[in-house]
Amino acid sequence: MKVWVLRHGEAEGHARTDAERNLTEHGRAEVLRSAAELIGQPISAIIASPYVRAQQTAQLVREVLGFEPEIRTVPWLTPDGNPLQVLEKLDTDDNVLLVSHQPLVGSLISFLQHGHQRQPQPMHTASLAELEGDFPLAGLMHLNHVKNP
C-alpha cells in the first residue's frame, strides 16, 4: 500500500480562528504543482483535516486528478493530531492521500518510517511525501520521496 501525505498550501497569516485560514494565491499554485505529482497514482481515498486550508488543498487535488469520490473529512488530521490515532484509522484503507498540517505531517511520516516521532520530517507548505509498505505500521513503511513544490 501507499500513503501520500500532503501538507496544505501556504495560508493567510490571520483569520478569526486558525481553522478558518484560507489558502493564498501562492498556496494554490504550490498545491497545483504538488497535485501534478499525483496524476496516474492509484489513489483510492482523499482524507483531509476539517480546517479550511486543508479542505481547499484537498479540493484542488481532487479537481486536478478528476477524482470522483468525495473528500473524507476527519477530525484526527488537525495540526495537533496524534500519529498513533491516524494509524489506527488507516488500517482499512489502501493507497490514500492524507491532507493535513504541521506538526502532524512531520511526526506522522517519522512515526511510519522509524517507529518514533523524535525526528519529525521537515515539510514545507504543499510538500508531498510518498510512503510505501505492506501495512501502515509504525516503523514499517519506507519513505520513497518528499517533493517540495
Q: Is 28 helix (H, G, I), strand (E, B) or coil?
A: helix
- pLDDT tens per residue across span 59-90: 999 999 999 999 999 999 999 999 999 998 98
How is the beta sheet containing 72-73 ordered, strand by strand? 72-73, 45-48, 96-100, 2-7, 128-132, 142-147
- The Cα 146–Cα 28 span in angstroms is 19
- pLDDT tens per residue across span 88-141: 898 667 899 999 999 999 999 999 999 988 899 999 999 999 999 887 777 878
Q: What is the pTM of this model?
A: 0.96
- The Cα 139–Cα 127 span in angstroms is 21
Q: Under a CB-based contact definition with an 8 Å cutoff, are residues 9 and 57 in contact?
A: yes
- The Cα 48–Cα 46 span in angstroms is 7
Domains of the chain: 2-147 (3.40.50.1240)
